[in-house]
């Protein structure tokens, strides 16, 4: 943990536990809301009558909104605090989700759907930074590694959201009813748990000059801070490894290893399961060995898995490589968030920068793999992922705990 983390929590144990549980809920609710949209993309596409290329431009609105939300998060956190920022971000995202559903159900107003997607992206991006800052502060108070478990809760929320979406599709529930219902549930649940978040109260108790918020120029200056950018490289490589699998793994197994479409979907499920298992098990290794050795080991696992998937022709052996790939990609993003938030004074600005770099990988990675795959085949296109994973492994010393430096 960081050098400025207390050896024993300065808060009562029940308060810290409630805080931790509230952060779990925020992560899970965000995953649930995002997966609700993702699960109904085909229904929205059909309602709009859009081609695949047209849907690509429509969905680009999420990317634009996400960048706006990510870049504004640190300023909102400094201005109105963590609780209000998270509440505002979730309300904006839920409003955007409802607008998407209503626009799609009305069968045609594409600008309405684009507006909803932009709001969804902005709210999700802003909340991503705020909940990671809040989670890192709770982690410092607990005095042990928890961030990977918070991200595992997000994964659990996405699974629940996907299941509800599948049920809504099967039952013929309109996107308007589905998305509006999800939005209401998420907002109500969030407002019930946000009062247990404690970063604002903790900051108010530490009113000394050393705990003052950074000015806006200092926050922007984090984009030139070498340590922050190196942590960003770690997150960039591992987010690219995760995002490329989300979008291309199933198709790469079908086209490159000649498995059936259904088998490709199952193999993607293997990857997601390995990711979740890696995040749950990773906390023990991080507490025992520290961030740098674990990041180097996981980068090695991801690289080995990618090499097997790319170059070994056997689909069964390639599936073993998928497991290694998933385990290896599991910890880079959450550990990067923890490392960026080690210094409580610069945490919001650094997490905003690192999260933006990570989301850049999620947004730019899929099309870049697609372009390379069109020219050289999907399996060979994954060599770009391998290179970025290697870069993440080389940059891993930047995430060293301040107490171990």
Q: CB 78: neighbour CB atoms within 10 A?
A: 18
- Specify whether the CB–CB gap between 34 and 161 falls below 8 A: yes
Which domains are present in the chain? Answer: 13-213 (1.20.1250.20), 218-399 (1.20.1250.20)
pLDDT of residue 1: 44
**CA 129, 131, 136: angle at the middle one, nearest 5?**
95
186 Cβ neighbours under 8 A, 6+ residues apart: 29, 32, 33, 90, 93, 94
Poorest-confidence range of 23-32, 283-292, 346-355? 346-355
For residue 206, pLDDT beyond 50: no
- pTM of the entire structure? 0.77
Task: Mark out the alpha helices in 40-146 (DSSP H runs).
Answer: 41-48, 52-80, 82-105, 110-142
Three-state secondary structure call for residue 149: helix
pLDDT of residue 263: 80
pLDDT in tens, 40-77: 877 887 888 877 667 767 777 887 888 888 888 878 88
- Specify whether the CB–CB gap between 279 and 326 falls below 8 A: no
pLDDT of residue 56: 66
pLDDT of residue 287: 87
For residue 133, pLDDT beyond 90: no
Q: What b-and-e string marks burial along 352-390, b requiring 16 or more CB atoms within 10 Å of the CB?
A: bbbbbbbbbbbbebbeebbebbeeeebbebbebbbebbb
Residue at token pair 């081609």: 51
pLDDT of residue 215: 60
User: Can you read off the two tokens belonging to residue 229?
Assistant: 């950018």
**CA 80, 83, 85: angle at the middle one, nearest 5?**
55
Cα-Cα-Cα-Cα dihedral sign, residues 387, 315, 151, 299: negative
- Give the pLDDT band (50/70/90) at residue 4: very low
User: Rounded to an integer, what distance in angstroms lies between the CA atom of residue 342 and that of residue 289?
Assistant: 17
User: Rounded to an integer, what distance in angstroms lies between the CA atom of residue 255 and that of residue 120?
Assistant: 33
- Specify whether the CB–CB gap between 297 and 238 falls below 8 A: no
For residue 323, pLDDT beyond 70: yes
pLDDT of residue 192: 92
- Specify whether the CB–CB gap between 253 and 270 falls below 8 A: no
User: Can you read off the two tokens belonging to residue 203?
Assistant: 């900051």
pLDDT of residue 308: 96
Poorest-confidence range of 7-16, 148-157, 174-183, 288-297? 7-16
For residue 328, pLDDT beyond 90: yes
For 136, 144, 149, 376, 397, the CA distances from 290, given in Å and listed in that order, are 16, 11, 16, 39, 11
pLDDT of residue 213: 55
User: Rounded to an integer, what distance in angstroms lies between the CA atom of residue 47 and that of residue 39?
Assistant: 14
For residue 123, pLDDT beyond 80: yes
pLDDT in tens, 261-280: 778 877 877 888 888 889 99
Q: Which one is predicted more confidently, 200 or 82? A: 82
**CA 348, 61, 26: angle at the middle one, nearest 5?**
40
pLDDT in tens, 99-116: 998 988 776 678 888 899
pLDDT of residue 358: 82
Q: What is the arithmetic mean of pLDDT over 318-347? A: 88
* DSSP letters spanning 12-70: -HHHHHHHHHHHHHHHHHHHHHHHHHHHTHHHHHHHHT--HHHHHHHHHHHHHHHHHHH
User: Rounded to an integer, what distance in angstroms lies between the CA atom of residue 193 and that of residue 291?
Assistant: 30
- Give the pLDDT band (50/70/90) at residue 145: confident
Q: CB 326: neighbour CB atoms within 10 A?
A: 26
- Give the pLDDT band (50/70/90) at residue 201: low
In terms of residues, how long is the chain?
405
For residue 212, pLDDT beyond 50: no
- Give the pLDDT band (50/70/90) at residue 142: confident
Mean pLDDT of the chain: 83
- Give the pLDDT band (50/70/90) at residue 210: very low
User: Can you read off the two tokens belonging to residue 25?
Assistant: 């809920």
> Which phi and psi (to 5°) does residue 313 adopt?
-75, -25
For residue 34, pLDDT beyond 60: yes
pLDDT of residue 122: 93
User: Rounded to an integer, what distance in angstroms lies between the CA atom of residue 332 and that of residue 261?
Assistant: 29
Q: Which one is predicted more confidently, 301 or 342? A: 301
């Amino acid at each position: 943990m960081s050098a400025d983390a207390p050896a024993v929590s300065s808060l009562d144990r029940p308060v810290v536990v409630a805080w931790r549980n509230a952060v779990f809920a925020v992560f899970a609710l965000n995953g649930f809301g995002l997966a609700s949209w993702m699960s109904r993309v085909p229904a929205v596409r059909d309602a709009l009558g859009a081609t695949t290329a047209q849907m690509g431009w429509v969905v680009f609105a999420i990317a634009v909104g996400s960048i706006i939300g990510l870049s504004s998060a640190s300023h909102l956190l400094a201005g109105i605090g963590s609780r209000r920022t998270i509440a505002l971000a979730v309300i904006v995202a839920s409003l955007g989700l409802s607008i998407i559903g209503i626009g799609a159900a009305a069968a045609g107003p594409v600008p309405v759907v684009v507006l909803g997607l932009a709001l969804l992206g902005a709210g999700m991006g802003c909340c991503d930074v705020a909940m990671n800052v809040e989670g890192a502060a709770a982690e410092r108070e607990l005095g042990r590694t928890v961030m990977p478990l918070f991200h595992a809760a997000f994964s659990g929320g996405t699974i629940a959201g996907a299941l509800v979406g599948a049920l809504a599709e099967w039952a013929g529930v309109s996107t308007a009813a589905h998305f509006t219902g999800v939005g209401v549930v998420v907002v109500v649940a969030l407002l019930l748990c946000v009062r247990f978040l404690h970063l604002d109260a903790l900051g108010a108790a530490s009113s000394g000059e050393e705990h003052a918020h950074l000015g806006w120029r200092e926050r922007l200056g984090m984009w030139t801070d070498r340590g922050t950018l190196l942590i960003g490289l770690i997150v960039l490589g591992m987010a690219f490894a995760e995002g490329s699998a989300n979008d291309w793994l199933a198709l790469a197994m079908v086209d490159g290893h000649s498995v059936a479409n259904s088998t490709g979907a199952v193999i993607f499920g293997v990857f997601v399961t390995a990711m979740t298992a890696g995040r749950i098990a990773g906390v023990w290794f991080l507490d025992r060995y520290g961030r740098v050795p674990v990041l180097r080991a996981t980068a090695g696992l991801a690289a080995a898995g990618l090499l097997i998937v790319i170059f070994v022709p056997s689909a069964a052996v390639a599936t073993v490589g998928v497991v290694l790939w998933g385990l290896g990609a599991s910890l880079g993003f959450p550990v990067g968030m923890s490392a960026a938030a080690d210094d409580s004074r610069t945490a919001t600005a650094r997490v905003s920068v690192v999260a933006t770099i990570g989301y850049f990988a999620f947004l730019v990675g899929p099309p870049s793999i697609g372009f390379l795959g069109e020219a050289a085949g999907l399996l060979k296109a994954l060599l770009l992922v391998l290179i970025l994973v290697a870069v993440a492994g080389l940059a891993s010393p930047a995430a060293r705990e301040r107490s171990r430096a």
